[in-house]
Structure 1
Amino acid sequence: MEGHLYEQLYNHILQEINKGQMKAGDRVSSEKELAERFGVSRITSKKALEKLAEAGVIKRIQGKGSFVADGVREGLDHKRQSEERPSLVFDEKERPLIGFIISNFSDEFGLQLLRSIEKQSAELNYDLIIKRSRGNRDEEKRAIQLLVSLGIKGLIVTPIHGEHYNAELLRLVLDKFPVVLVDRYLKGIPVCSVYTDNKKAAEDLTLHLIGRGHDKIAYLSPPEVNTSTLEERLLGYTLAFTQEGLKLNQDYCLTNLKGILPKNLGGTEIDNDKKAIEHFLEQYPDVKAFVASEFLVATLLTQVIHSLGKSLDEYDIVCFDSLNDYLGKPIFTHIQQDEKRMGKEAVDLLVSQLIGEAVPEQRIIEHRLVVKE
C-alpha cells in the first residue's frame, strides 16, 4: 500500500462505491480506521479522504465523519477503475508543489539530502522545485519569492550562513506558512527544524582525539555567528575539554575561514584561509590534532601541511562528513550525518503541516562516529 500511498487507498474506496459495496449516505471509515486497516500512516489516509472530498466523492461533516455523496455512483460509471493498474482519477496537473532551497550541495554533504527529499516528495505525490542560493542572501530572497509566486504549498530550506536571518523567510514563518528548516535552526524563531545534534557530534570528535592522547587540539571553522550548526559544533568542542577536566586554549580556535563558504567558493578568500592556517601551524608547532567543522576545512588543512613539507602522519585530523578514498575507506575520522533520514523527516513534517497536523519544533537525527583505520 505504501508504494502508491494515498492513490491506492483513494482508488480502493472508489471501487467499493462503484461496485455498490458503499452507497450514497454510507459512512466511510475514519482516518484512523483506514490507517489501521491498510497499514498506512495517518498522513496517507487523511490525504486520501481529502482528495475524495475535493473530487465530490464524499462529504466530510464536522464531528460526524465522512459519507458517500449523493449521485456519486452514476458519476463513476464511466470511470471504472482497473484493478490491475490503479490510477488517479484527478488530473495529474493537480499535484501540489513544494519547494526546497539549499545553499549548496556536494558529495560530502547535501547530495544525499537532496535525493532523499526528492524521493520522499515523489512518494507522497508532491512535485518538488529546487533552488540553490549559493550562500547569497539576495539569491535566497529571490528564490523564496519565486517559489511562493509559483504556488508552492510549503517550503523546506537550509538557511544561508550569516549574522542576520532572511526577512523573507521570517515573514513566511510569522505568516504560519508551512516551513521546515533542515540542517540548522533559527534561535528564538518557532519553526520546525530537522538537524543533527551538532554539539554532541563535535564533542564526540574532540573526545576521540583526547582519548588518543592529545591535549593540544585546535578547532578550525568558518565564522560561526548566527549559524546554529557551526555555533553548536564550537560549543561541543569546548565542552569536551570541560568534561575531561582539561584547559581550553582559546588561541587554538581559528574560526574565520571564509573561503569554503558557498558564496566564496572559487574566490580569493581561499588563499587568505591557507595563509591563516600556515601562520597557525608555524605559531603553534606542538598542536598536532585538529577538529575541522567541515570536510573542506579538513582538506584545506592537509593541503597546507603538505605544502609546508610536513608529513600528514604527524597529525590527527577529524571532521564532519568525510568522503571516502578510492578504496572506499574514509579519508578522515568523521561524524557521518544521516542525510537520507534527515530528508525524509523534513518532507514528512512539511506534509504533516499541510494537512493541519501539529509538528515539533525540533527533530534531532542520530549521527555516528566513523573512525579511520
Structure 2
Amino acid sequence: MSRNGKSMPMYAQIREYLLDGIEGGTWSGEEKLPSENELAEKFGVSRITIKKALDGLVEEGIVYRIQGKGSFVSENGKPRLYASDRLQHRKSFVWLLMPRVNNLFTSSILRGVERTLDEAGCKLMFSSTDDSPEKEKELLAEASELGVSGVIVYPAVGEAYNEDILRMALSPFPVVIIDRYLRGVETNCVCTDNVQSSYEAVKYLLELGHRSIAFVSSPVEGTTSLEDRLTGYEKALSEHLIPVDRSLIVEPFDEEKMERLLKEQPRITAVFACNNDIGLRVIKAAERAGRNIPERLSVLFFDDFENSEWFRIPPSCVVQQPEAIGREAASMMLRLIDNPGTPRQRVSLPAKLVVRESTSAPPGTTKTTV
C-alpha cells in the first residue's frame, strides 16, 4: 500500500489497496475486482470489513456493483449499465412503498414525492403493500436486488417495530419513513404533528361546550400516528380537568357498536374520529341512532376528502399536508443519498383545523354553529 497502513483502520487500508490497484492499472475500467470472499481471505478479515471498504469506493463512483455478479471498476467514474442487470447509476431510482393509493391523502403524498424526485433528475419506482406486513417484508427484501438508491416507506397499519424496516433504517442504506415513526428508535421520518393536531381539534370541541367526547379509531396500539392522536385527545381533556373515560374510546371501530353506544349514551355530544373513512361511518351510525348532525352530535375527524365541501353535511376536519409530507420525504432521501452520514432526523409538519357544518355547540347551549 502506498500510505501508512498501520495508522489506518483495516477497512481503510483495504480501500487504499484497491484504489492503488485501480490507479496502477492492476484493474482497469469495467474489469471485475476480486470477490468479497477472496479479499476477506487475503486480508484475514470479515466480509463486513470488505463491504465497508467497497462501499466507500462505490459512493465515490470509482466502483459499481451488479447484483449476483460482483464489483467492477467504473469507466470515467460512471458504471456501464445493462438493462438486464436492473441496476442504474447512483441516485437514478428511489422506491416508494405505500399501503395503497385510494384517497386524497395518499395520492397527494405520491405526487409530492414524484415531483421532488423528478426535479432532482431522480426516477420513482412505486409499489403497493396492500397494508400487508408480509408483502411489505417481501418487497423490502428485494430493495438491494433491484439496485435502488433508497426506499421511502409508508408502513402497513399496526407496525410498531417491523424488523425489516428497523434493520434497514439503522443501516447505512437510505431509508425514510413517512406518516409514522418507530417509537424509541432514531430513524429518518416525516409525519404530521399528530399530538398537537389532535389536541387542537379536541380543544375546539371543548371550547364549544362539549364535555363527553368519544374517540373512535382503527386499532391504535402499534401505529404511532394513532397513538399520538389518542395522546392529543387525552391531553386536551386533562387540561380542561375532564377525566378520560375509557368507555368513550372506541377501538377498533365498529359501526354497529357505535350505533348502540350513541343510543345508550345520550350524554355523548361529540365524536373525534382518527380518519375520514371512520368519521363518515360515524355520521351514518349517528343518523341510524336518531342523532342529527350537528344538532344532536358533533363529528370531527382527521383528513379531508375530495369535494368534501359539497358533501350533504360538509365536515369539520383536521387537514394534513400530504403533498408537503411527500416533498419533505423525497428531499430527505436526496440528502441521504448525497451524504449517507447525515444525522437521522424526524420532521413533524403542522396540520390545520377546518371548521364546517358537522360541528356545533351541544344541545341546550346558546352557542351557534361555528
TM-score (norm 1): 0.68
Larger deviation: 302-311 or 228-237? Answer: 302-311
Q: Which residue of 2 aligns with 1:299?
A: 280
Q: Helix, strand or coil for the counterpart of 2:105?
A: coil
Q: Which residue of 2 aligns with 1:361?
A: 345
Q: Which residue of 1 aligns with 2:302?
A: 320
Contact 2:283 2:293 in 1 (8 A): yes
What's the offset of the Cα at 1:105?
2.9
Moved over 6 A (4+): none
Q: Which residue of 2 aligns with 1:349?
A: 332
Give matches, 1:28-107, under 5 Å: 94=89, 96-107=92-103
Q: Which residue of 2 aligns with 1:239?
A: 235
Q: Helix, strand or coil for the counterpart of 1:110?
A: helix
- Of 292, 295, 303, 1:311 maps to 292
Structure 2 residue 194 is matched with structure 1 residue 213: no
- Of 340, 356, 359, 1:372 maps to 356
In 1, Cα distance between equivalents of 2:312 and 2:292: 20
Structure 2 residue 106 is matched with structure 1 residue 123: no
Q: 1:198 to 1:146 in 2, by over 3 A?
A: same
Q: 1:274 to 1:288 in 2, by over 3 A?
A: same
Amino acid at match of 2:105: F
The one-character-per-residue Cα deviations of 1:188-218 (angstroms, maximum 9, x if unpaired) are 2221111111000010110010011100110
Q: Which residue of 1 aligns with 2:26?
A: none
Contact 2:160 2:224 in 1 (8 A): no
- Of 136, 139, 143, 1:143 maps to 139
The one-character-per-residue Cα deviations of 1:267-307 (angstroms, maximum 9, x if unpaired) are xxxxxx12211221122122120100111110111111223
In 2, Cα distance between equivalents of 1:277 and 1:150: 46
Q: Which residue of 2 aligns with 1:177?
A: 173
Q: Which residue of 2 aligns with 1:224?
A: 220
Q: Helix, strand or coil for the counterpart of 2:142?
A: helix
What's the offset of the Cα at 1:174?
2.9
What's the offset of the Cα at 1:369?
1.0
Give matches, 1:10-29, under 5 Å: none
In 2, Cα distance between equivalents of 1:311 and 1:217: 16
Contact 1:349 1:359 in 2 (8 A): no
In 2, Cα distance between equivalents of 1:148 and 1:329: 49
Structure 2 residue 259 is matched with structure 1 residue 275: no
Contact 1:96 1:153 in 2 (8 A): yes
Q: Helix, strand or coil for the counterpart of 2:211?
A: coil
| Runs of 5+ consecutive residues of structure 1 not aligned to the other structure | 1-52, 56-70, 72-91, 258-272
In 2, Cα distance between equivalents of 1:134 and 1:218: 29
In 1, Cα distance between equivalents of 2:183 and 2:247: 27
Q: Which residue of 2 aligns with 1:153?
A: 149
Contact 1:183 1:195 in 2 (8 A): yes
In 2, Cα distance between equivalents of 1:164 and 1:210: 31
In 2, Cα distance between equivalents of 1:143 and 1:178: 15
Larger deviation: 278-287 or 219-228? Answer: 278-287
In 2, Cα distance between equivalents of 1:187 and 1:108: 27
| Identity within the alignment, % | 25
In 2, Cα distance between equivalents of 1:359 and 1:163: 24
Q: 1:104 to 1:351 in 2, by over 3 A?
A: same
What's the offset of the Cα at 1:164?
4.9
In 2, Cα distance between equivalents of 1:336 and 1:141: 30
| Number of residue-to-residue matches in the alignment | 274
What's the offset of the Cα at 1:145?
2.0
Contact 1:322 1:330 in 2 (8 A): no
- Of 314, 333, 341, 1:331 maps to 314
Structure 2 residue 191 is matched with structure 1 residue 195: yes
TM-score (norm 2): 0.69
Contact 1:155 1:178 in 2 (8 A): yes
Contact 1:104 1:110 in 2 (8 A): yes
Q: 1:309 to 1:216 in 2, by over 3 A?
A: closer
What's the offset of the Cα at 1:350?
0.8
The one-character-per-residue Cα deviations of 1:48-82 (angstroms, maximum 9, x if unpaired) are xxxxx859xxxxxxxxxxxxxxx9xxxxxxxxxxx
What's the offset of the Cα at 1:310?
3.5
